Amino acid sequence: MRIGMSLPDPGGADALTVLRDELRKAADDGFSSAWLANIFGLDALTALAVAGSAVPGIEVGTAVVPTYPRHPAALAQQALTAALALGGRLTLGIGLSHKIVIEDMYGYSFDAPAIHMSEYLSVLLPLLDGQPAAFQGTTLRAGIGLSTPRPDPVPVLLAALGPRMLRLAGERTAGTVLWMTGPATVRDYIVPTITAAARAAGRPSPRVVCTLPVCVTDDPDAARARAAKVFAIYGQLPSYRSMLDREGAAGPADVAIVGDEDSVASQITALADYGVTDFVAGEFGKGHDAERTRALLRTLTRSS
């Protein structure tokens, strides 16, 4: 199991410099990958292309870019350009986002999300593979080819939690990238569902990128209280709430990985036995806890 880390969106006029420094530190610490969310701050693909081009030797990924606001041809063009800047180290994580964002903020319909994603892939994947796309669907259409240079393939991961999305990820993409999904749910539901879909489609075993909050501490109760506050919104969004309910978790704090070094290490390494191919640490500790967390993660990167 490879060990990656979740990049912060630093904000401010020097955000790209800070992001570059965080990427360099991650590479120096031995992380195999670093992932940036695309929410309301930096555009993840642009930021990674700029900051990551100065930091060789580490995979960079989006976790994730929402599909609805960008036509798949536009996203393919941007992703291929970013991959060129990164020397082929980009992994494109995409996802539906949430109704509150897509419908209430952007003004798009969030009806039939699984159909939307299937049709989106029918345009995106050929273009990323250097082929023209010709598609007429119910949610989008395209007849376009791109001349964007394509030195290396750009693997696509799908943020997939529901069964239809997991099957889609297994059948047509390189795998899934998860957030706020506990270990029992990964073991008993995510991995079996996506693996069966990939096998039935004759595809290689899928990549399962599992991102969870992490904090090494001597005060787990305080760490969980902080996690409950920092990640509160994820307990309210329906897709994550369904995963928390499946796990039997009251909220995000219950799936955070907290404890001393031995406890956190055992919780992380157990994920490999459950079929996780990549663990991505969402570090949320402060002060000495943050230092201890990074020190443990450095140790795990050397043994992974």
Dump pLDDT digits (tens) for 25-82. Answer: 999 999 999 999 999 999 999 999 999 999 999 999 999 999 999 999 999 999 999 9
Q: Residue 25 belongs to what H/E stretch?
A: helix 15-28
List the domain range (segments joined by +) for residue 251. 178-183+207-304
Tell me how many domains the chain contains. Answer: 1
Residue 136 resides in a domain: no
Q: What is the pTM of this model?
A: 0.97
Determine how β-strand 33-36 pairs with β-strand 65-66.
unpaired
Low-confidence ranges of the chain (pLDDT < 70): none
Instruction: Tell me how far apart the alpha carbons of residues 101 and 38 are, in angstroms, rounded to a whole number.
Output: 12
In Å, how far are 7, 57, 167, 284 from 17, measured between CA atoms? Answer: 13, 18, 39, 21
Residue 128 resides in a domain: no
Cβ contacts of residue 150 below 8 Å, gap of 6+?
A: 80, 83, 128, 130
Whole-number pLDDT of residue 151: 83
Residue 89 resides in a domain: no
Whole-number pLDDT of residue 303: 86
Whole-number pLDDT of residue 190: 98
Instruction: Tell me how far apart the alpha carbons of residues 36 and 168 are, in angstroms, rounded to a whole number.
Output: 23
Bridge partner residues of 280 (DSSP): 4, 211
Q: What interhelical angle do 287-303 and 261-273 show, nearest 10?
A: 40
Cβ count near 94 (within 10 Å) = 26
Residue 129 resides in a domain: no
Residue 138 resides in a domain: no
Whole-number pLDDT of residue 76: 98
Whole-number pLDDT of residue 236: 97
